[in-house]
């Protein structure tokens, strides 16, 4: 075993001033030194004496290089994503395919040799789409492409369409929308310097139909939440109020057509028919697996994603990619012999899309445990850019230091922001949380639509995501200081 001084010196040279040493061959048994920086190196990260990214690179540089090297060579996550999408398919709560995915994920995690591989029962909503259609019946007949919004009631409605772009416009119309079909035509701007503006746009899908119902509308249509459309509608959840009306998304192209017809002075009439039904809750499960900590096994770092998807496309980006990324991160750390001080726990949540029951159930069932961090990936399997942190200033600074190890991936960007829906209950309970930030410039082209299929995912991006998550999870679980403290 190398002496502490030699070790420090070598690592310092390796990361601070000289080019990094060549990574250990993947097949070579891990050296005890590389195995666990915590036991060999007087690490300065990220305790009170932290001096910045260099000290982190010095202390975890060797481990992170080994992780990134191994991640760049493994195609197991991609093979798993291929199986999940092509052989299991989309995975809406209550569907047989979601339960096949749960069983498959559990058996894969067990095959990876993890500890405490298990499923934890969650009762989930069971909404089914049924047959659906929509058409303009006047002034010019035109078949539309339509997707009922998750949770909508079924029914057939024919009526005049009223177009609104804002809630103020809807309120100004008030009772005038009674018996009519309200079209929420909020235009999602193209991806730009301000990002995708999903939050500003999706609010109309989330709450618009219920507001229209309150005013007496007979049905609601929502322009798909996407800036780029090739005539495929994008579904998603909508909140239902006391009065329930059929609610569906239509394509950008059809929303534009209706708007042009209305602007030309025509009365536009639409027939909407939805076969949606809500059945009794169904049994599903979260899937868990662990790499138990060597020194503080009861302190948990959760790395999670959601296994369910909408009932269109293949749920490849959303969130199959996140699931296989988390599975692979844990598998690589185990294979490299990188046993951290604390426990890293993969949680594949069920029912994110239309209920978040898996998220709430997990937080409730594990409320007594000490979660020191939670990391989620749920914005697609694109190239990693960094992390969004929902936590205190200390956790933000620590994340910046750790992310500096991800320079080879270009994933060093760290900012405050939303970390992820499935770890929100943990965040509310005071856990500092992180979201993997990826290049989302094309995410909403595919999101919640028939186009979210495997061919839209780049295998190299998945490998890079695995590297970013594995390094972050490893250092969070191994560093002497507690995340955020
Ligand atoms: Zn998702």
Residue 160: the pLDDT is 98
Q: Give the DSSP H/E element, type plus range, for residue 132.
A: strand 132-138
352 is catalytic: yes
Strand, coil or helix: 35:
helix
Q: How far is the CA of 235 from the centre of ligand 1 (A)?
A: 12
pTM, full prediction: 0.89
Counting every residue, how long is the chain? Answer: 485
Instruction: Return per-residue pLDDT of the chain as tens, 485 residues.
Output: 333 333 332 232 223 333 344 444 444 343 333 333 443 333 344 443 444 444 555 689 999 999 999 999 999 999 999 999 999 999 999 999 999 999 999 999 999 999 999 999 999 999 999 999 999 999 999 999 999 999 999 999 999 999 999 999 999 999 999 999 999 999 999 999 888 899 999 999 999 999 999 999 999 999 999 999 999 999 999 998 999 999 999 999 999 999 999 999 999 999 999 999 999 999 999 999 999 999 999 999 999 999 999 999 999 999 999 999 999 999 999 999 999 999 999 999 999 999 999 999 999 999 999 999 999 999 999 999 999 999 999 999 999 999 999 999 999 999 999 999 999 999 999 999 999 999 999 999 999 999 999 999 999 999 999 999 999 999 999 999 999 99
Q: How far is the CA of 353 from the centre of ligand 1 (A)?
A: 6
Q: How far is the CA of 73 from the centre of ligand 1 (A)?
A: 26
CA atoms within 13 A on the CB side of 70: 28
Q: How far is the CA of 318 from the centre of ligand 1 (A)?
A: 4
Write out pLDDT tens, residues 261-276. Answer: 999 999 999 999 999 9
Helices within 159-238 (DSSP H only): 167-173, 198-214
| Backbone phi and psi for residue 88, each to the nearest 5 degrees, phi listed first | -110, -45
439: tokens are 């290049």
Return the CATH architecture of domain 130-275: 3-Layer(bba) Sandwich (3.50)
The maximal CA–CA distance of the chain, rounded, in angstroms, is 84
Q: 194 and 302 in contact (C-beta within 8 Å)?
A: no
| DSSP assignment string, 211-241 | HHHHTT-SEEEEE-S-SS-SS-----B----
Residue 64: the pLDDT is 97
Given 352, 353, 361, 376, which residue is catalytic?
352
215 burial (CB, 10 Å; 0-12 / 13-18 / 19+) is: middle
Domain regions of the chain by residue span:
4-67, 75-124+282-478, 130-275
Residue 440: the pLDDT is 97
Strand, coil or helix: 452:
coil
Q: How far is the CA of 384 from the centre of ligand 1 (A)?
A: 16
List Cβ neighbours of 92 (8 Å cut-off, separation of 6 or more). Answer: 98, 127, 308, 309, 310, 311, 353, 354
Q: How far is the CA of 104 from the centre of ligand 1 (A)?
A: 19
Q: How far is the CA of 440 from the centre of ligand 1 (A)?
A: 13
Q: How far is the CA of 221 from the centre of ligand 1 (A)?
A: 22
Residue 123: the pLDDT is 98
Strand, coil or helix: 455:
helix
Q: How far is the CA of 122 from the centre of ligand 1 (A)?
A: 18
Q: How far is the CA of 305 from the centre of ligand 1 (A)?
A: 8
Domain covering 75-124+282-478, topology: Aminopeptidase (3.40.630)
């Amino acid at each position: 075993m190398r002496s502490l001084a030699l070790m420090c010196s070598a690592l310092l040279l390796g990361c601070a001033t000289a080019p990094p040493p060549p990574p250990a061959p993947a097949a070579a048994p891990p050296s005890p030194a590389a195995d666990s920086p915590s036991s060999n190196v007087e690490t300065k990260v990220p305790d009170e004496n932290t001096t910045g990214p260099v000290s982190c690179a010095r202390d975890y540089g060797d481990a992170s290089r080994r992780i990134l090297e191994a991640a760049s060579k493994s195609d197991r996550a991609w093979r798993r994503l291929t199986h999940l999408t092509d052989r299991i398919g989309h995975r809406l709560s209550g569907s047989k395919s979601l339960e096949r995915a749960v069983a498959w994920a559990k058996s894969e995690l067990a095959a990876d040799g993890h500890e405490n591989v298990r499923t934890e029962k969650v009762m989930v909503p069971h909404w089914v789409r049924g047959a659906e259609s929509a058409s303009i019946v006047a002034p010019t007949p035109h078949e539309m492409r339509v997707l009922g919004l998750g949770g909508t009631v079924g029914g057939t409605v024919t009526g005049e369409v009223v177009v609104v772009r804002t809630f103020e416009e809807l309120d100004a119309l008030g009772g005038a929308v009674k018996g009519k079909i309200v079209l929420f035509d909020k235009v999602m701007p193209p991806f730009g310097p301000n990002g995708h503006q999903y939050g500003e746009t999706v609010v109309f899908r989330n709450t618009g139909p219920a507001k229209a119902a309150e005013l007496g509308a007979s049905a609601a249509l929502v322009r798909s939440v996407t800036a780029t459309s090739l005539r495929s509608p994008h579904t998603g959840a909508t909140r239902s109020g006391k009065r329930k009306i059929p609610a569906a998304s239509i394509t950008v192209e059809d929303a534009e057509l209706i708007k042009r017809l209305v602007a030309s002075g025509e009365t536009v009439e639409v027939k909407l028919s939805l076969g949606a039904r809500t059945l009794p809750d169904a049994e599903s499960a979260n899937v868990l697996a662990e790499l138990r900590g060597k020194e503080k096994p009861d302190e948990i770092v959760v790395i999670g994603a959601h296994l369910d998807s909408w009932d269109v496309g293949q749920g490849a980006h959303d969130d199959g990619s996140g699931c296989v990324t988390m599975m692979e991160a844990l598998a690589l750390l185990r294979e490299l012999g990188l046993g951290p001080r604390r426990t890293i726990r993969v949680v594949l949540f069920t029912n994110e899309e239309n209920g978040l029951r898996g998220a709430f159930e997990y937080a409730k069932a594990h409320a007594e445990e000490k979660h020191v961090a939670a990391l989620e990936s749920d914005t697609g399997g694109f190239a990693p850019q960094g992390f969004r942190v929902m936590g205190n200033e200390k956790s933000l600074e620590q994340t910046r230091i750790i992310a500096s190890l991800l320079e080879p991936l270009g994933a060093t960007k760290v900012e405050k922001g939303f970390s992820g829906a499935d770890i929100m209950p943990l965040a509310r309970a005071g856990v500092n949380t992180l979201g993997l930030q990826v290049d989302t410039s094309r995410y909403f082209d595919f999101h919640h639509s028939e186009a979210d299929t495997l061919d839209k995912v780049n295998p190299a991006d998945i490998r890079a995501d695995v590297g970013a998550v594995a390094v972050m999870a490893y250092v969070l679980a191994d560093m002497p200081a507690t995340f955020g403290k």
